[in-house]
Amino acid sequence: MGIAWYLAVSALIFAIGIGGVLTKRNPIVILLCLELTLNAGNLALVAFARMWGNADGQIFALIVMVVAACEVTVGLGLIVALHRRGLKVDVDELEELRG
Amino acid sequence: MSILLFFLASIGAIVGAVGVVALRNPFYGVLSLVAHLICLAVLFLLLQAEFLAAAQVIIYAGAVMVLYVFVVAYIGGQDESLGTSHGVLRVLTPIFVGVLIVELLIALLGSGLSAVTSKGAKVSTLFGSANQIGDLMLTKFLLPFEVASLLLLVAAIGAVGLARRRVGYGPGDVPFDAATIAAAPPAGTGTMAEASGDRPVAGFRGEDR
């Protein structure tokens, strides 16, 4: 399969993820959609690494995975803190970051 | 064989992505994302990124998703409410996403690079193996590797600080002030004062000291 096919799949997944981030209201689902966009970027990185026969892109993808894991832990920590304080877990209700 | 595998995996990945967005229950969304990640790992394997595929399945589909499942179970996974305050966003998002797909496809496929339509450069069987990745990580990319480990540490500490139970800040909590600290806990409950011998406990003979 040509590299172009992988890039097309990556573009589709990225667009789906962006659409989810824009429409969803539950912050957990928004984080899931962010994962989709990051994974689409990873797929493109790996495809380009294969295209040039250079593994540097794969290291980049690995670092992206690390950053995604950090984002998930902090994001889920925030959601748990919101839940603990009795606030509604809904991004439309949390327009102001005042506690 | 690889063509069949590519189409199966890419259709699975796209269906999983659509499932994350379309399913109303966040729990099913998480499960859909797990399916998506496993299909993506198959695509990585087809691109000869063996180590990355293994890391994807073990770290992403294994560890990170378990975290999601725990938080969804803790929060209670309420269904998405149908009404939205941003009606404009509902209308504009599909248009924006459509434009984004067209733009990305033009940028990626219409670039005229001959390499894009090829199957990629000739690579040895060692390409993307744990051997090569480890070699690169500890020589050429040592600094990003160390910075990433520091980032993980900071994120872990930050998450613990964010999610810890704060005593005395909620409605109806007993304020945690000096009087609460001064009130001595019941005898024999293993406090620091008892352990150090500052507050002798009746019946404790101190044999192990």
pLDDT for B179 equals 67
For chain A, what is the mean pLDDT?
Answer: 87
Mapped onto helix, strand or coil, the DSSP state of residue B175 is: coil
Residue A98 domain-assigned? no
In B, minimum Cα distance to A78 occurs at: B162
Whole-model pTM: value is 0.80
Which of A29-38, A60-69, B159-168 has the lowest average pLDDT? B159-168
Total Cβ atoms within 10 A of residue A9: 25
| Cα B38–chain centre separation | 15
Nearest C-alpha in A relative to B123:
A53
Domain span at residue A70 reads: 3-84
Work out the angle between the directed axes of helices B130-138 and A56-84 (0-180°, nearest 10).
80
| Residues of chain B found within 8 Å of residue A23, distances taken between Cβ atoms | 21, 89-90, 93
In this prediction, residue B129 has a pLDDT band, given cuts at 50, 70 and 90, of confident
- What six digits make up the tokens of B163? 């999610």
Mean pLDDT of B22-49: 92
Percent of chain B with pLDDT over 70: 71
| Percentage of chain A modeled with pLDDT above 90 | 51
Give the model's confidence band at A88: pLDDT under 50 very low, under 70 low, under 90 confident, else very high.
confident
Please judge whether A42 and B165 are an interchain contact, meaning their C-beta atoms are less than 8 angstroms apart: no
Does B113 fall in a domain?
Answer: no
Rg from Cα positions in chain A: 17
pLDDT of B182 higher than 80? no
Picking from A5, A58, A67, the nearest residue to B52 by CB comes out as A58
What's B11's domain CATH number?
1.20.120.1200
Query: How many CB atoms sit inside 10 A of residue B99's CB?
Result: 11
Q: Of B77, B99, B120, which one is at a domain's C-terminal end?
A: B77
Does residue B153 sit within a domain?
Answer: yes
Does the pLDDT of residue B10 top 90, yes or no?
A: yes
A34–chain B nearest CA distance, Å = 11
Distance from C-alpha of B199 to C-alpha of B201, rounded to nearest angstrom:
6
Which of B25-34, B54-63, B109-118, B180-189 comes out lowest in average pLDDT? B180-189
Q: How many domains does chain B have?
A: 2
Residue B175 burial (CB count, 10 A) = 9
Instruction: Note whether residue A10 is domain-resident.
Output: yes
**B26-51 burial string, b = 16+ CB within 10 Å, else e?**
beebbbbbbbbbbbbbbbbbbbbbbb
Give contacts of A33 with chain B, Cβ < 8 Å.
20-21
Query: What's residue B184's pLDDT?
Result: 64
Q: How many CB atoms lie within 10 A of CB A22?
A: 17
Q: Which pLDDT band holds residue A97 (cuts at 50, 70, 90)?
A: low
Confidence of residue A4 (pLDDT cuts 50, 70, 90): confident
Tens digit of each residue's pLDDT (9 = 90 or more) over B53-108:
999 999 888 888 999 999 998 887 566 655 555 677 778 888 888 998 888 888 87
Give the tokens for residue B203: 């019946």
Helix B2-22 with A27-52: angle, nearest 10 deg: 160
Q: Is pLDDT at A61 greater than 90 in this prediction?
A: yes
Please provide the DSSP assignment of A8-47 as one string.
HHHHHHHHHHHHHHHH--SHHHHHHHHHHHHHHHHHHHHH
Answer whether residue B162 is part of any domain: yes
Is residue B26 domain-resident?
yes
**Tokens (6 digits) for A60:** 């980049």
- Please say if the pLDDT value at position B209 is more than 50: no
CA-nearest of A6, A33, A12 to B103 is: A12
Q: How far B57 CA lies from chain A's nearest CA (Å)?
A: 12
Q: What is the ipTM of this complex?
A: 0.91
Would residue A96 count as lying in a domain?
no
B73: which residues sit within 8 A by CB, 6+ positions away? B27
More confident residue, B114 or B137: B137
Q: Do A14 and B55 touch (CB under 8 A)?
A: no
Within-domain flag for B90: no
- Split into its structural domains, chain A has a count of 1
User: Does residue B114 fall inside a structural domain?
Assistant: no
Cβ contact, residue pair A50, B85, below 8 Å: no
In a domain, B19, yes or no: yes
In this predicted structure, the answer to whether residue B207 has a pLDDT above a threshold of 80 is: no
Q: Which domain holds residue B69?
A: 1-77
Residue at A44 is within a domain = yes
For residue A94, what pLDDT is reported? 72
> Among residues of chain B, what percentage have pLDDT more than 90?
35
Residue B81 burial by Cβ neighbours in a 10 Å radius (0-12, 13-18, 19+):
exposed
Q: In Å, how far is B100's CA from the nearest CA of chain A? A: 6
Domain presence at residue A97: no
CA atoms within 13 A on the CB side of B56: 29
Size of interface A-B (CB pairs under 8 A): 243
* Contact indicator for A74, B158 with CB cutoff of 8 Å: yes
Q: Tell me if A95 is assigned to some domain.
A: no
Between chains, do A33 and B6 touch, taking CB under 8 Å as contact? no
Nearest C-alpha neighbor of A47 from the set B136, B53, B47, B125: B47
Please check whether residues B1 and B68 belong to one and the same domain. yes
Tally the C-alpha atoms within 13 A of residue A49's C-alpha that lie toward its C-beta.
25
Contact A77 B160 (CB under 8 A): yes
Span B162-169, average pLDDT: 68
Within-domain flag for B206:
no
Task: Give B109 or B143, the one with higher predicted confidence.
Answer: B143
Q: Residue A55 belongs to a domain with what CATH number?
A: 1.10.287.3510
Q: In the predicted model, is pLDDT for residue A62 greater than 80?
A: yes
Query: Which of B18, B122, B171 lies closest to A53 in CB terms?
Result: B122
C-alpha distances (whole Å) from A10 to each of A39, A65, B21, B30, B189 are 8, 16, 16, 20, 59
Range in A58-67, A80-89, B162-171 the model is least confident about: B162-171
Give B200's DSSP letter.
-
